[in-house]
Amino acid sequence: MEIDKIIHEPARLRIMMILNGLEKADFTFLATTLGLTRGNLNRHLEKLESAGYLKVKRSFKGKVRNTSYQLTREGSKALAQYWENLDAIRQSGQT
Amino acid sequence: MKGAIIMNKEDHTPRDSDKLKEIPKWSRRYAQNRKLTVLVLTAIITFIGGFVAFPISLGIAAIIRGDMLVTGICAVLFTAVLIVLIIFTFKFGDKNRGLLDQKIDQWIYGKEGTASLPTSRSTKKKWLDVVSGIAISICILGSMYLAMDGYLSFKYLQPVLAVCFVPFLVFQYFLQQPRLGPLLLLCPALYAIHAILIIAGVPIYFTGTFAVPLNMFLPLFGYTFLAYIIAHIYSRHALKKLKVIAHLEGGTANGD
């Protein structure tokens, strides 16, 4: 049974789960909710973006730069598959 | 699968995976109920609405009495309010649309960041929105005219408006899904209960010179305010739940 290592990392799993319930969230929301430093969060977001699981949108709110993140279709599917595999492992471990 | 790892049956699964599965639910509930921005905008619009309704209702009453002085003053007041509205529309309308809500949102929720749900992009829904907007405007103006001309008792003004407002508000709620949480249905629910209580004989209505705007807007504004405040309080609860589940401790946060 294969588990996606990109998603399996606790911080990245939480990032994807937060975004799974939303259309999009910005960097500040993810950082304050997860309690990650900006550098750490940036690293995880870059990994997810490179994997094709996240879409990044950069804009301006007035004069302030704003970066928001959204799960891609591939990311949603990968997340669903991740949980399916994990639940299957747990179930087979219980039998 | 990218970077797949093989797990044996005995390998660890993420601790509290059932709790982690609740994260999307709490992030969605937070975004649906994070409505203080809308409340402030509603307050601004109602405040402006009051400035529009006040000279209109006072002016109409003055016309009926034949008081030309008061009619003239009301006409000047109304013109001044219109000019302010036009300036406001230029500053925050058209290409600057959304700028006002952004500024208010930043002021209220800046420290938390932004989390949002999609708006409806259906063209059909936009047409329904326009049609329902026209219908409610006719209802408001018609009721105002009937009440001021004496055809509709002040007592029954709010119940008559409830026939229009309650379906309109419920319709707006469903039109804006999934952006709004069910707590916001408190507003039409309370407005309907208010109407039923008046019909049942409870004297919760205004009489006197400003009876028309007060009966029309005070319950609406009051119940909207209450619903949005309760939603905002719930969004604090949702955010707290989300942070408890999603928050990462030092070593786990670093990852690979």
Tokens for B150, please give them: 């004496």
On the question of pLDDT at B172 being above 70, the answer is yes
**Residue of B129 and B64 predicted with greater confidence:** B64
Establish if B133 touches chain A: CB-CB under 8 angstroms: no
> Which of A14, A60, A91 is the best substitution to test chain B (most B C-beta atoms within 10 A)?
A14
Say if B27 is an interface residue toward chain A (CB within 8 Å). yes
Rg (CA), chain A: 15
How do the domains of chain B map onto residue ranges?
24-96+124-248
pLDDT at residue B46 tops 60: yes
pLDDT at B223 > cutoff 90: yes
Q: Which residues of B touch A1 (CB under 8 A)?
A: 6-7
Nearest by CB to residue B6, choosing from A2, A23, A61, is A2
Q: Is A83 on the interface with B (CB under 8 A)?
A: yes
Higher per-residue pLDDT: A35 or B87: A35
Q: What is the structure's pLDDT at B123? A: 62
Whether this model's ipTM surpasses 0.90 comes out as yes
- C-beta atoms of B28 and A90 within 8 A: no
Closest chain A residue to the Cα of B112, Cα to Cα = A29
Strand order in the sheet with A54-61: A54-61, A64-71, A24-26, B115-116
Chain-chain contact of A25 with B115 (C-beta, under 8 angstroms):
yes
Task: Say if residue B252's pLDDT is above 60.
Answer: no
Percent of chain B with pLDDT over 70: 87
pLDDT at B35 (0 to 100) = 86
Give the residue, B227 or B10, on which the prediction is more confident: B227
In DSSP terms, A69 is beta-bridged to A25, A56
Average pLDDT, chain B: 83
Closest-CA residue to A69 (of A9, A37, A35, A29): A29
Lowest mean pLDDT: which of A36-50, B118-132, B148-162? B118-132
Tokens of A6: 């990109």
Q: Across residues B190-213, what is the average pLDDT?
A: 91
Q: Decide if B123 touches A, using CB distance below 8 A.
A: no
Q: Assess whether pLDDT exceeds 90 at residue B59.
A: no
